[in-house]
Amino acid sequence: MCIAVFLWQSHPLYPFLLLLNRDEYHNRPTKATGWWEGGEILGGRDEVGGGTWLACSKEGRFAFLTNVLELHASPEAKTRGDLPIRFLESKKSPKAFAEELVKEAHEYNGFNLIMVDLLSKSMFYISNRPKGEAVLIHEVKPGIHVLSNAKLDSPWPKAQRLVLKFKKLIEAHGEGDDISMEELAEKLMKDKEKVADESKLPHICSLDWEYSLSSIFVEVDTPLGCYGTRSTAGIKVKANGEVCFHEMYLENSKWEAQTVNYHIQRNDQKIKQIW
């Protein structure tokens, strides 16, 4: 399970700003954020499935993924983590990629995928759940949005709390102030408050499991080992094309941090303005 909050085309300094917690078993082999082979894609890597939950490219394309909470998952399904990489490696627009993905969406367990092309100011969302219904595709409008383990902007308690806190912090900085991703991550993404009222849980899996997942920062012991938030990523893109990718992640049971900076390019030329 994961949760992400993001700002899209609604801030004078930052056309795109994202915070994302990745929840997974702590013992699952994972590579921290770095440039992949070829040097065109930046992101973490799940060493079991080979894919990613969040990545971006030098050409101003971004993609991130969350799983949909459901009772039964198929072990034969395709790896969802391949989807962000496939988008980044393609030349298709977010809309065209989503429309093509519809043909095979049923071959994956439940997913939410958001694709971004900053140069064309395009962001699209696709989900293959609820099961049995038509695949959902729609353009994401400017504003602040949250994505957890249901549809985009679903009013789950932790999602609503994260959006509210995010808005307050953004407003507190003012429109002309630089925003620290480290500060946002510390103040927003480490929230361990759980839902006290079980009637507000989604009632899809066992209530004990849903209660454990009801905080923004997840941490729960299971028979398979510790499960929960093992990385927090923050991406901010300035109007001049400067990208800052900050990640805090677990490495050998210790929290580490790193920041990668680069400029969005087209034909090896820095773009002047993407706002």
pLDDT digits (tens, 9 = 90+) for 74-98: 999 999 999 999 999 999 999 999 9
Q: 9-63 pLDDT, tens per residue? A: 999 999 999 999 999 999 999 999 999 998 999 999 999 999 999 999 999 999 9
Q: 116-149 pLDDT, tens per residue? A: 999 999 999 999 999 989 999 999 999 999 999 9
Contact 107, 128 (CB under 8 A): no
Contact 188, 144 (CB under 8 A): no
Q: What is the pLDDT of residue 176?
A: 79
Residue whose C-alpha is closest to residue 233's, from 39, 63, 61: 63
Q: DSSP letters of 133-178?
A: SPPEEEEPPSEEEEESSSSTT---HHHHHHHHHHHHHHHHH-TTS-
Contact 42, 235 (CB under 8 A): no
Inform me whether the pLDDT recorded for 267 exceeds 80: no
Q: What is the pLDDT of residue 1?
A: 77
**Residue 148 is encoded by which pair of tokens?**
């957890």
Where does 193-224 show beta strands of DSSP type E? 219-222
pLDDT band for position 275 (cuts 50, 70, 90): very low
Bond from prior residue into 130 cis (ω within 30 degrees of 0): yes
pLDDT band for position 273 (cuts 50, 70, 90): low
Q: 148-194 pLDDT, tens per residue? A: 999 999 999 999 999 999 999 999 998 878 999 999 999 999 999 99
Q: 64: Cβ–Cβ under 8 A, 6 or more apart, which residues? A: 4, 18, 20, 53, 54, 55, 84, 113, 114, 147
Q: What is the pLDDT of residue 268?
A: 47
Rounded to the nearest 10 degrees, the angle between the axes of helix 181-188 and helix 157-173 is 140
Q: What is the pLDDT of residue 270?
A: 44
